[in-house]
């Protein structure tokens, strides 16, 4: 089994509705996203999944969030854009794009600081 991993970043604001503390106020993060995909196969030239393709798919998805107020986006109107929700959302949306017979999204890690991160995966 091969694991292919990339790290990307984006900046965005959010606020946590119903949270009792400072995070209920609008604030921002420089998010660090780590995406890991798995493949048990290699193509004819020895690649499990092309880094360039993975970066392009993740960058396209994150462009929808970059320099936005996540709390104002339609997909987060009924649920807070917490790191947990972001990790699950990115995992599932990316899976819709790249999951196939040979490759699957394995996990997505969302770090909102150098000291705090959440990892989402499905078993």
Query: Which residues participate in catalysis according to the annotation?
Result: 23, 67, 112
Contacts of 22 (CB under 8 A, 6+ apart): none
Which of 80, 61, 84 has the alpha carbon at shortest distance from 70? Answer: 80
Q: Report the 10 Å Cβ neighbour count for 102.
A: 14
Torsion of the alpha carbons at 56, 58, 61 and 62, rounded to the nearest 10: -110
Give all strands of the β-sheet with 117-120 in edge-to-edge order: 2-14, 27-39, 103-111, 117-120
């Amino acid at each position: 089994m091969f694991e292919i991993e990339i790290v990307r970043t984006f900046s965005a604001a959010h606020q946590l509705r119903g949270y009792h503390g400072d995070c209920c106020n609008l604030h921002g993060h420089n998010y660090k996203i780590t995406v890991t995909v798995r493949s048990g196969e290699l193509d004819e030239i020895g690649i499990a999944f092309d880094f360039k393709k993975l970066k392009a798919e993740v960058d396209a998805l994150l462009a929808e969030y970059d320099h936005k107020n996540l709390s104002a986006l339609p997909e987060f109107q009924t649920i807070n854009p917490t790191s947990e929700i972001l990790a699950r959302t990115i995992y599932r949306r990316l899976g819709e794009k790249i999951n196939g017979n040979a490759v699957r999204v394995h996990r997505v890690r969302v770090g909102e600081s150098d000291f705090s991160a959440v990892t989402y995966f499905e078993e």
